Amino acid sequence: MKTINNNTGISVIGLGSMGSALASTLINKGFQLTVWNRDENKARTLIELGAQMADSVESAFAANPVTIMCVSNYEAAHSIMAQVRTYDKWAGKTFIHLSSGTPKEARDMELFFSSKGAEYLDGAILAWPSQIGGEETTILISGEQVVFEKVAPIMKVLAGNLTYMGREIASASSLFSAVLAYLAGEWIGFCHGALICEAEGIDVEVFGGIMHKLSSILGAELAHMGKVIRHDDYYNPESTIKTSGSDIAKLVQHAREAGINSDLTTFAAGLFKKAIDAGHGEEEHAAIIKVMRNI
């Protein structure tokens, strides 16, 4: 492939919220785009900005040396690929897949593309659509380094904090899954906190503001947890599982007293109790991973 510059044509498949943000950012930076989406109406604005609409998935792939795909999930990606009848023109083409999925799905997708002679990179977007193109926006990419380096000028336009995760194709999706697991807890935890505020007459926006102010301390705490778990060093706690577990048990009591949902608090209190029962009460709270490791 020739050196990438603003004259390089790029195909973008998938024009939902994220795909449209990727495509419009590339167009605004001067790249020539060919786009394809199942619902053609979603291409209208991009066509007005100068994008070409491909009449099929096959012609979108054929149009340019680099194709970016971002659709709901890998099932959607496979159903799009099933529309391709001939892979004659895929040799040497580069395909960057940014739909979210599991590590196994990334490995299977790489096998599919390499069997067709195409270069494959698997990526994960750690941003909202409105953040695409930002200096601090993070996209993780896995795959062959030489391929990554070829397309890095394109991907840097989309994410200032473009991060190469190495040759193992599943690394980006593995880390995406880990981040999402964290976010699932954060979102549910925040909403339980909001229920407490509603029940007790506290402005939820004030709660949000307090959490914002705590965010750098919480960030440092996450880095600390990573270190503690990595080095199996739970034995110098500032707060023990016994103390945190007793505080969390009070949340179950509060939910009962206030008549609010207790799904999260019952689950969390149960996990901490399990860790105490297993003899980890004097260790720091990251040690709950020891009971979580038991399937």
Site residues (vs ligand NAP, CB under 6 A): 14-19, 37-39, 42, 70-73, 76, 79-80, 99-100, 125, 128-129
Q: Could you tell me the two tokens for 137?
A: 């926006």
Q: Tell me the closest approach of the beta carbon of residue 128 to ligand NAP, in angstroms.
A: 5
Q: Tell me the closest approach of the beta carbon of residue 116 to ligand NAP, in angstroms.
A: 19
Rounded to a whole number of angstroms, the CA Rg of the chain reads: 23
Between 5 and 79, whose beta carbon lies closer to ligand NAP? 79
Between 19 and 143, whose beta carbon lies closer to ligand NAP? 19
Q: Could you tell me the two tokens for 57?
A: 């998935």
Between 15 and 151, whose beta carbon lies closer to ligand NAP? 15
Closest-approach residue to ligand NAP (CB): 16
Q: Could you tell me the two tokens for 230?
A: 């990595």
In degrees and rounded to multiples of 5, residue 161 shows phi and psi of -100, 55
Q: Tell me the closest approach of the beta carbon of residue 277 to ligand NAP, in angstroms.
A: 37
Q: Tell me the closest approach of the beta carbon of residue 57 to ligand NAP, in angstroms.
A: 9
Compute the distance between CA of residue 178 and CA of residue 211 in angstroms, rounded to an integer.
Answer: 21
Compute the distance between CA of residue 85 and CA of residue 69 in angstroms, rounded to an integer.
Answer: 18
Q: Tell me the closest approach of the beta carbon of residue 21 to ligand NAP, in angstroms.
A: 8
Between 75 and 247, whose beta carbon lies closer to ligand NAP? 75
Sign of the CA dihedral running 289, 290, 291, 295: positive
Between 23 and 66, whose beta carbon lies closer to ligand NAP? 23
Q: Could you tell me the two tokens for 106?
A: 């990334």
Between 76 and 258, whose beta carbon lies closer to ligand NAP? 76
Cβ atoms of 288 and 271 within 8 Å: the answer is yes
Q: Tell me the closest approach of the beta carbon of residue 246 to ligand NAP, in angstroms.
A: 37
Compute the distance between CA of residue 242 and CA of residue 277 in angstroms, rounded to an integer.
Answer: 10
Tell me how long the chain is: 295
Q: Is 100 left (phi over 0), alpha (psi -120 to 50) or beta?
A: beta
